Chain A
């Protein structure tokens, strides 16, 4: 019986050895694509995985934490990451670039934004929104029994940073910052409040599915400038920094510098890889709201956009 199976397998493998493209990868070493735990990165990384492995590269996706990635890239444990957000990773990314072991591979395309956000039914209870000054007068509308009369602002997990305690103090907002333990716990609370039309104000970022499922707006703080975070005399409050909104900005691709010599063509493809914000937002929606599998959504994108990504891979399409 076993022999039968073996011969069946052999027959199959001979029959199935479909001719791949004529391109021969520069190296058989495995390219390690880093994924963190949010959906957009899972999807675009899977798309890149499909593209690179179509050209015969040996590719592996590796789960790593957003902030814990840098040692991995400096030593070559990780090869490529498609998303590095300016909003949270600006400093460590710049620091890591300075070591010379890490490359800036250009922007992915979408614009990153994160800020205080409220559901639209709160506009009635707090007239004047989205201007931040309105929050000074209607903190009570956002309060919970243990924070009253102060408002309750639900911040992101502590490890994401974001300077919300400093912001509350600098802008003299009558709010208490409560940190959610995880993103899921944060949005569970949003869903709970939204179903009951109950007061809530919390940290939301995009590209993400939340702004497309729940209707609401971002609070408008004084726009961010670098000086706001470093220079106390800047802005509204002359004696404290952080008296402005959160930085918005790019999402960049990064890579291990040593890989440039190993897989020059793959690096070229990664440099050309871009998606626009709307496109990525729609893909995230398919996965997060409709509950479809990441690889299925990514493969669908790859099939409908084959001409596009083949044009990125000019070096492999000879």
Chain B
């Protein structure tokens, strides 16, 4: 991976061309000289793993039983139980109390009035953080109401809240377990790593088999997706608790439970908050996919709008998801922050009373004044015609130059690179990657890489995997080339931090499809549109880590460099960059992970690689191939992770030695 990763960046440099030529020569020579089975594995050598998985999954979902109770019945009961709180929240927030349906539909009670919900949320923001957050909450709420998105937003909120709570509780429990037992940790970490990298589409079908069609299946899939960062964050947070603090707890005679609840968790709260932030973001990220299997809400509005090519309406609904995400995130962050600084009594009994009044009065008033419960359609604002007009204007006036860019990129860079990777004999690629693993991390890393790639090879997804790697490598290279320098630049301008954070949050929660379809209008179906989609999503971690890497350089070192007469460039090149390198490599790692997780979405604009295999198996209802192709994506991710982590360790060690 390492040499492959470096290639596209080198290609812009002077001797990049020679390296490229040499690589091509080696590939051509190797494929001519090697026996055929070393270039392309014959079908007989493949194992029918996907058939086994499919059969196993079907058995598990239909016939498997423990203690005479069928697993499927258990999971169905669980789904029904999970459905209850969602229904209850939906009744409170979105639908109101409805009896009957069709011609006999009667509204017995209205839902909580939007005015009350927004004001209560703003009050919460005011108490938790201050006026800024209250204003932000009011603005977000007003956006949802005036643009006619309120009812959908509340449907989404109902399931998001349940998902976040479930992922939080489960994540904390598993994290605490992993923290306490080294055995459990190894095991859990492996499972979590796979969970985080297997594309969600590949376990959607088993989820449907187990939990039935409908919103609760979406809920379970979302929790699976959002859980890993919470577990990781919990373990890290608990580890970060200073040993003196624990010592103190022991000396004062705290029980194990007391230590956990009164000492460890409060001290760890700021780091737990990072996990919570990820859970909120990832849950809202899933809104679109959840709506594909029946969760409704804003995600469904986006899908509907895009189906009729109403990009503007899709964008508005997408921004509704962003508004929800930002408010939820800032509120939970503020709560976690207060928890860690030990501020209590922010919320008085009087506030509870005010909140109750704020909720009840407009709701009762809405009986007389229906606009308080459902904002009339005639009064809603929309900017959709503007956005649609803009897209069409760009399409009619700038298509030719954009097409030239696309064609140049496709014919000059993308297709040759893809062909190179696809014609490269598997044995050569495998050997190169295993060697890279050995060079970076020794025998263990090499063995990990070997086994993972072997899995891809024998399951018959090697060619598809090479296409995935080609798309990922190019997107990562582009995302890094844009994101890292930008992040590094922003880190020097503290005033930009807040707006950039907001922009990054938007980029990560605005459903990709919202900007993917306009991109398709300009760049057609195919790999180039996919490239744009992946880059726009994977650029966020590149920027974040660029900023973080620079922020953590010890200031003494920078001062020392300044005093010894370094120019700003020298100080950057020889002091700050090496110090930031380990963080930057982690940033590369995260960028790769994000890019890989976008492959499945990229399949929606017509790529031909692992993501497409996963997506197609989902829509054909084939469990086995879906899961196995998903595991292949995970395998690639784990290979990249193993290589980059060892690289980061080496860089850190190197950096440590240089300063020792």
Q: Give A residues with C-beta under 8 Å from B.
A: 1, 4-5, 8-9, 12-13, 16-18, 20-21, 32, 34, 37-39, 49-56, 59-60, 62-72, 77-78, 144-146, 154, 157-159, 178-189, 191-192, 195-196, 198, 209, 287-289, 291, 302
Contact of B521 among A4, A12, A188 (CB under 8 A): A188
Q: 10 closest Cβ contacts across the A-B interface?
A: A53-B101, A68-B621, A54-B102, A53-B102, A63-B294, A159-B619, A192-B521, A181-B604, A181-B606, A54-B103
Q: Name the CB-closest residue of B to A209.
A: B308
Stretch of B206-214, B267-275, B344-352, B547-555 that contacts chain A: B206-214
- Quick one: which of B85-120 are within 8 Å of A by CB? 97, 99-109
Contacts of B521 in A (CB 8 A): 188-189, 191-192
Contact of A62 among B209, B214, B526, B615 (CB under 8 A): B214
CB distance from A69 to the nearest CB of B (A): 8
CB distance from B372 to the nearest CB of A (A): 15
Name 13 extra pairs, CB < 8 A, besides A192-B520, A195-B392.
A5-B360, A32-B213, A37-B303, A54-B101, A77-B212, A144-B524, A182-B604, A184-B307, A188-B309, A188-B517, A189-B521, A196-B396, A291-B305
CB distance from A31 to the nearest CB of B (A): 11
Contacts of A209 in B (CB 8 A): 308
Contacts of B513 in A (CB 8 A): 184
- Quick one: which of B391-444 are within 8 Å of A by CB? 392, 395-396, 399, 403, 407, 410-411, 415
Contact of A12 among B109, B303, B309, B620 (CB under 8 A): B109
- Tell me, in angstroms, the Cα distance from A50 to B102 when the chains sit together: 4
| Interchain CB contact under 8 A, B605 and A181 | yes
B525 beta carbon closer than 8 Å to chain A: yes
Given A67-B621, A146-B410, A189-B520: A20 and B306 interface contact (C-beta under 8 Å): no
| Interchain CB contact under 8 A, B407 and A72 | no
Contacts of B101 in A (CB 8 A): 49-50, 53-54, 59
| Interchain CB contact under 8 A, A68 and B395 | no
| Interchain CB contact under 8 A, A16 and B292 | no
| Interchain CB contact under 8 A, A71 and B621 | yes
B618 beta carbon closer than 8 Å to chain A: yes
Contacts of A9 in B (CB 8 A): 97, 108-109
The residue in B363, B407, B516, B525 that gathers the most chain A C-beta atoms within 10 A of its C-beta is B525
B11 beta carbon closer than 8 Å to chain A: no
Q: DSSP majority for the B interface?
A: helix
Q: Name the CB-closest residue of A to B291.
A: A63
Interface digits, B593-605 against A, CB 8 Å rule (1 contact, 0 not)? 0000000001111
Q: Name the CB-closest residue of B to A1.
A: B360
- Tell me, in angstroms, the Cα distance from A273 to B500 when the chains sit together: 55
- Quick one: which of B204-222 are within 8 Å of A by CB? 205, 208-209, 212-214
- Tell me, in angstroms, the Cα distance from A99 to B108 when the chains sit together: 44
B612 beta carbon closer than 8 Å to chain A: yes
The residue in B97, B102, B603 that gathers the most chain A C-beta atoms within 10 A of its C-beta is B102
B185 beta carbon closer than 8 Å to chain A: no
| Interchain CB contact under 8 A, A51 and B525 | no
B364 beta carbon closer than 8 Å to chain A: yes
Contact of A49 among B102, B415, B529 (CB under 8 A): B102
Q: Name the CB-closest residue of B to A182.
A: B604
| Interchain CB contact under 8 A, B520 and A185 | yes
Q: Name the CB-closest residue of A to B605.
A: A181
Given A159-B620, A178-B525: A72 and B97 interface contact (C-beta under 8 Å): no
Contacts of B108 in A (CB 8 A): 9, 12-13, 16
Given A49-B102, A68-B208, A189-B521: A158 and B612 interface contact (C-beta under 8 Å): yes
| Interchain CB contact under 8 A, B364 and A5 | yes
- Tell me, in angstroms, the Cα distance from A158 to B618 when the chains sit together: 11
- Tell me, in angstroms, the Cα distance from A180 to B212 when the chains sit together: 29
- Tell me, in angstroms, the Cα distance from A34 to B214 when the chains sit together: 10
Count A-B contacts at CB 8 Å. Answer: 181
| Interchain CB contact under 8 A, B102 and A51 | yes
CB distance from A32 to the nearest CB of B (A): 8
Contact of B616 among A38, A54, A158, A289 (CB under 8 A): A158
Given A49-B102, A54-B103, A180-B525: A62 and B294 interface contact (C-beta under 8 Å): yes
CB distance from A46 to the nearest CB of B (A): 10
* Chain A to chain B contacts (Cβ below 8 Å), 14 pairs: A8-B367, A13-B108, A17-B106, A50-B102, A55-B102, A62-B214, A71-B209, A145-B410, A157-B606, A184-B517, A189-B525, A192-B524, A288-B307, A302-B102
B356 beta carbon closer than 8 Å to chain A: yes
- Tell me, in angstroms, the Cα distance from A196 to B522 when the chains sit together: 11
The residue in A1, A12, A188 that gathers the most chain B C-beta atoms within 10 A of its C-beta is A188
B313 beta carbon closer than 8 Å to chain A: yes
| Interchain CB contact under 8 A, A63 and B293 | yes
Given A16-B106, A65-B621: A291 and B604 interface contact (C-beta under 8 Å): no
Given A145-B407, A184-B309, A196-B399: A18 and B106 interface contact (C-beta under 8 Å): yes
Contacts of B508 in A (CB 8 A): none
| Interchain CB contact under 8 A, B621 and A37 | no
Given A20-B100, A146-B415, A159-B615: A185 and B620 interface contact (C-beta under 8 Å): no
Contacts of A187 in B (CB 8 A): 309
Given A63-B213, A289-B308: A180 and B606 interface contact (C-beta under 8 Å): yes
CB distance from A103 to the nearest CB of B (A): 19
| Interchain CB contact under 8 A, B364 and A56 | no
B39 beta carbon closer than 8 Å to chain A: no
Contacts of B100 in A (CB 8 A): 20, 53, 56
- Tell me, in angstroms, the Cα distance from A1 to B365 when the chains sit together: 13
Contacts of A291 in B (CB 8 A): 305, 308, 310, 313
| Interchain CB contact under 8 A, B616 and A37 | no
Contacts of A52 in B (CB 8 A): 102
B607 beta carbon closer than 8 Å to chain A: yes
Given A13-B108, A54-B104, A71-B621: A39 and B293 interface contact (C-beta under 8 Å): no
Q: Name the CB-closest residue of B to A60.
A: B214
Contact of A68 among B396, B516, B620 (CB under 8 A): B620
Given A65-B619, A180-B525: A56 and B517 interface contact (C-beta under 8 Å): no
Given A56-B104, A185-B605: A179 and B396 interface contact (C-beta under 8 Å): no
Contacts of B307 in A (CB 8 A): 37-39, 183-184, 288
- Tell me, in angstroms, the Cα distance from A204 to B357 when the chains sit together: 55
| Interchain CB contact under 8 A, A8 and B104 | no
| Interchain CB contact under 8 A, A64 and B213 | yes
- Tell me, in angstroms, the Cα distance from A165 to B250 when the chains sit together: 72
Contacts of B603 in A (CB 8 A): 181
Contacts of A59 in B (CB 8 A): 101
- Tell me, in angstroms, the Cα distance from A144 to B410 when the chains sit together: 12
Q: Name the CB-closest residue of A to B407.
A: A145
- Tell me, in angstroms, the Cα distance from A111 to B307 when the chains sit together: 22
Q: Name the CB-closest residue of B to A58.
A: B101
Given A63-B293, A186-B525: A179 and B606 interface contact (C-beta under 8 Å): yes
Contacts of A67 in B (CB 8 A): 619-621
- Quick one: which of B21-65 are within 8 Å of A by CB? none
- Quick one: which of B238-267 are within 8 Å of A by CB? none
| Interchain CB contact under 8 A, B213 and A154 | no
| Interchain CB contact under 8 A, B604 and A50 | no
CB distance from A292 to the nearest CB of B (A): 10
Given A13-B108, A159-B620: A185 and B604 interface contact (C-beta under 8 Å): yes
The residue in A8, A38, A49, A145 that gathers the most chain B C-beta atoms within 10 A of its C-beta is A145
Q: Name the CB-closest residue of A to B106.
A: A16
- Tell me, in angstroms, the Cα distance from A8 to B529 when the chains sit together: 56
CB distance from A86 to the nearest CB of B (A): 18
CB distance from B381 to the nearest CB of A (A): 15
Contacts of B208 in A (CB 8 A): 64, 68
Contacts of B619 in A (CB 8 A): 65-68, 157, 159
- Tell me, in angstroms, the Cα distance from A179 to B612 when the chains sit together: 11
Contacts of B620 in A (CB 8 A): 67-68, 159
Contacts of A192 in B (CB 8 A): 395, 399, 520-522, 524
| Interchain CB contact under 8 A, A185 and B517 | yes
CB distance from A305 to the nearest CB of B (A): 12
| Interchain CB contact under 8 A, B399 and A146 | no
